[in-house]
Amino acid sequence: DLRWAACDGRWKLVTTADPLRSTVSRELFDLSTDESEAVDVSAQHPAEVERLAKELARWQLLPRLPSLPDDDR
């Protein structure tokens, strides 16, 4: 599975994709009341899921900087 996360203030969105099954799931956690990320509140806050999913998609489209070589000094 492939996993990505986006955080903004109290909210954390975790997106999990399973390429073999062609499925994507999203879980939303309220870190202000659930630091252990045990309770998915995505059904209660669909607007936050949509907002953070858009931010995550926008971030994934940004160009990546090349990796720097390891410094073996």
pTM score of the predicted model = 0.78
Those residues with Cβ within 8 angstroms of residue 2's Cβ, 6 or more apart along the chain or in another chain: 16, 17, 18, 19
Which residues, 6 or more positions from 17, have their beta carbon under 8 angstroms from its beta carbon? 1, 2, 3, 23, 24
Classify the phi-psi angles of 58: left when phi > 0, otherwise alpha if psi is within -120 to 50, otherwise beta. Answer: alpha
Tens digit of pLDDT for each residue in 12-59? 999 998 988 888 899 999 999 999 999 999 999 999 999 999 998 888
**Residue 68: pLDDT over 80:** no
In this predicted structure, the answer to whether residue 73 has a pLDDT above a threshold of 60 is no
Contact 15, 53 (CB under 8 A): yes
